[in-house]
Amino acid sequence: MEAILTAAELLLREQGFARLTTNRVAARAGVNVALVYRYFAGKEALVGALIERFAGLTHAAVERALTEHAKSPLPVAIRALLEVLVSTPSAPELHRELVEHVDITKRRAHVNALRARLLELFVAFLDRRRSELRVLPDPLASLFVLQHALEAVSHAAAFYRPAGLSLERVLDATTELVLYTLESGRH
């Protein structure tokens, strides 16, 4: 099963969802296509399994970054969080294909559950740093907007960024935006 998922990941990255087939996955994995169908109903199920895999990796990476930077200066911690969001998974082409095919793979509920778990981690991180933060007039709305803005920016930075705009500049601007929203003394 691992060889099949690895083959699907490589092909998705190289050729995209439209060109991905179970026959190509089987050939790349060095297995019979019947074995692919033993574990996966089709290419949507393969890509869905990859979405679940990378959702787990994203959760672990965010948790690790927030733990490692629990006592770092707030700008350093926020930057580390943003770097994880942009770089998981590490291949921009794969990242794009997974994000763009959440609905066709019927993994929207899984992605929403990941969002909720990541928000819990971020809120707990912020609670521990309360003395550094400004009081938000509507914390629920602010966190909702911030969460979805960061998700959109991390996707755009990973795979939609224009050629002349470096990832560093995007991360710098996003870090400033988050700090302006959250940090005491930025207004």
Instruction: Return d(Cα 53, Cα 49) in angstroms, integer.
Output: 6
Q: What's the pLDDT band for 36 if we cut at 50, 70, 90?
A: very high
How high is the mean pLDDT of the chain? Answer: 94
pLDDT at 88: 86
Average pLDDT over residues 28-56: 97
Domains of the chain: 1-40 (1.10.10.60), 43-182 (1.10.357.10)
Instruction: Return d(Cα 69, Cα 124) in angstroms, integer.
Output: 13
**Cα 137 to chain center, whole Å?**
28
Residue type, 83: E
pLDDT at 164 over 70: yes
Tens digits of per-residue pLDDT, 51-89?
Answer: 999 999 999 999 999 999 999 999 999 999 999 999 988
Name 85's Cβ contacts closer than 8 Å, sequence gap at least 6: 58, 62, 150, 151, 154
Neighbours of 153 (CB within 10 A): 21
pLDDT at 180: 94
Report the Cα–Cα distance between both ends of the chain, in Å, rounded. Answer: 53
The angle at the Cα of 174, spanning 170 to 175, to the nearest 5 degrees, equals 115
pLDDT at 108: 97
pLDDT at 91 over 90: no
Under a CB-based contact definition with an 8 Å cutoff, are residues 106 and 41 in contact?
no
Under a CB-based contact definition with an 8 Å cutoff, are residues 94 and 20 in contact?
no
Instruction: Return d(Cα 187, Cα 72) in angstroms, integer.
Output: 22
Measure Cα distances from 141 to 10, 50, 107, 138 in Å.
39, 31, 25, 6
